[in-house]
């Protein structure tokens, strides 16, 4: 609908339009370009930060276990095998689909390597090999390698001696001799607080069971969390992995001298299984079934540590692999705390 204006009103309207246009021009000359440059600058910085944003870890226990066996078997031969390389090759070859996996696939690949073919040559043309190799290195590099551990020695004054070994150097989170049961529950639904998927793995056991560090690292989190109850967060030395242990025991969740910033060795006792959590109030048992929640977060860039796009992977195949490597512990009858029996020393690569 049109409205007829008088001459005076027309002048006022035209003046108002000119004022608005002048304001826009000034804004374009001064503020807007600066804002645009800032956005462009941020964009350029993001492009320079080229790191992995997501990983879907589908390697089954059977493939992981067999690849590790091949790595250990061929360690001292003329054709050493890297368990990470052959798993990355297999993932790239099958499109990350391991449903039809057979150990014969890895045997055939090893035969090619033994015949003189290099992984560099074999992976040529596999579009995502480099991606899987980097991702699997971040996930698995702390599981196998050289380490030193105490073993029994009757001739020694202490009854022990240090021995250098190569093999699985990470430990099951459950101390030796303590029962637990598990199944693959990664991605299952959770409703406390809000509907979400389970980004960890639950291992059911008895209250008070000693829980040990899977890998060596630094304690970055220690204390109460509304969802996890009493929990501990440990970052590995290479900074790529963050292990999250939750639902520790009420009243006596961890060994009393444990604190943020402490260095722990793989197999050290870090706490005791319980059922705390699902409460804003501290030290409350709101978990129906006593269990350990263990999560594994990948961190390729520090910006991923605490954000809305964190990378958590299914750790179930790894806990199955480590079930055979458990840390022996002993209880101090005075303090009621557990500690490991055999010392462990990480051998870090230069």
Domains belonging to the chain, first-starting first, are 61-140 (no CATH), 171-346 (2.70.70.10)
Q: Phi then psi for 38, rounded to 5 degrees?
A: -65, -45
Task: Give the pLDDT confidence score for residue 34 in this predicted structure.
Answer: 28
Q: Is the pLDDT of residue 1 over 50?
A: no
Task: Give the pLDDT confidence score for residue 348 in this predicted structure.
Answer: 75
Task: Give the pLDDT confidence score for residue 193 in this predicted structure.
Answer: 67
- Give the whole-number percent of the chain exceeding pLDDT 70: 84
- Cα torsion through 210, 238, 141, 270, rounded to 10: 0
With cut-offs at 50, 70 and 90, classify the pLDDT of residue 186.
Answer: confident
- Give 94-116 pLDDT, tens digit per residue: 999 999 999 999 999 999 999 99
CA angle 168, 171, 176 (to 5 degrees): 120
Question: Tokens 């027309």 sit at which residue?
Answer: 10
DSSP codes joined into one string, 172-205: -SBPTT--EEE---TT-EE-SSS-EE--SEEEEE
- Give 56-77 pLDDT, tens digit per residue: 999 999 999 999 999 999 999 9
Q: What is the rounded average pLDDT of the residues 176-190? A: 91
User: Residue 293 contacts by C-beta under 8 Å, 6 or more apart in sequence?
Assistant: 200, 201, 202, 228, 244, 245, 246, 247
With cut-offs at 50, 70 and 90, classify the pLDDT of residue 21.
Answer: very low
Task: Give the pLDDT confidence score for residue 320 in this predicted structure.
Answer: 98
Q: Phi then psi for 251, rounded to 5 degrees?
A: 75, -40
- Give 239-274 pLDDT, tens digit per residue: 999 999 999 999 999 999 999 999 999 999 999 999
Q: Using an 8 Å Cβ cutoff, are 312 and 297 in contact?
A: yes
Residue 150 pairs with which residues in a beta bridge? 162
Total Cβ atoms within 10 A of residue 311: 22
pTM of the predicted model over 0.75: yes
Task: Give the pLDDT confidence score for residue 191 in this predicted structure.
Answer: 65
Q: Using an 8 Å Cβ cutoff, are 173 and 231 in contact?
A: no
d(C-alpha 336, C-alpha 18), whole Å: 82
Task: Give the pLDDT confidence score for residue 113 in this predicted structure.
Answer: 97
């Amino acid at each position: 609908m049109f409205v007829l204006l008088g001459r005076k009103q027309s002048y006022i309207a035209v003046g108002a339009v000119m004022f608005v246009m002048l304001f826009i021009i000034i804004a374009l000359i001064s503020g807007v370009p600066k804002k645009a440059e800032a956005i462009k600058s941020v964009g350029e910085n993001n492009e320079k930060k080229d790191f992995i944003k997501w990983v879907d870890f589908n390697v089954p226990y059977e493939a992981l276990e067999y690849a590790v066996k091949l790595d250990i078997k061929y360690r001292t031969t003329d054709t050493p095998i890297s368990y990470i390389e052959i798993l990355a090759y297999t993932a790239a070859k099958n499109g990350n689909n391991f449903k039809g996996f057979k150990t014969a696939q890895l045997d055939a690949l090893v035969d090619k390597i033994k015949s003189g073919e290099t992984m560099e040559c074999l992976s040529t043309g596999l579009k995502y090999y480099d991606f899987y190799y980097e991702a699997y290195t971040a996930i698995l590099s702390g599981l196998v390698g050289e380490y030193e551990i105490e073993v029994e020695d009757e001739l020694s004054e202490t009854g022990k001696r240090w021995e250098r070994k190569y093999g699985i150097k990470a430990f099951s989170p459950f101390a030796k001799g303590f029962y637990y049961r598990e199944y693959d529950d990664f991605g299952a639904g959770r409703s406390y607080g809000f509907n979400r998927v389970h980004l960890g793995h639950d291992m059911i056991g008895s209250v008070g069971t000693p829980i040990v560090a899977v890998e060596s690292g630094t304690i970055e989190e220690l204390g109460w969390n509304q969802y996890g109850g009493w929990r501990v967060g440990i970052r590995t030395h290479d900074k790529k992995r963050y292990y999250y242990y939750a639902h520790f025991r009420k009243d006596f969740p961890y060994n009393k001298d444990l604190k943020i910033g402490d260095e722990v060795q793989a197999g050290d006792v870090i706490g005791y299984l319980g059922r705390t959590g699902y409460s804003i109030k501290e030290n409350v048992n709101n978990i129906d079934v006593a269990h350990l929640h263990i999560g594994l977060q990948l961190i390729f860039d520090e910006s991923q540590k605490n954000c809305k796009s964190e990378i958590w992977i299914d750790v179930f195949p790894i806990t199955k692999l480590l079930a055979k490597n458990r840390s022996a512990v002993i209880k101090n009858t005075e303090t009621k705390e557990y500690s490991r029996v055999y010392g462990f020393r990480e051998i870090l690569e230069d």
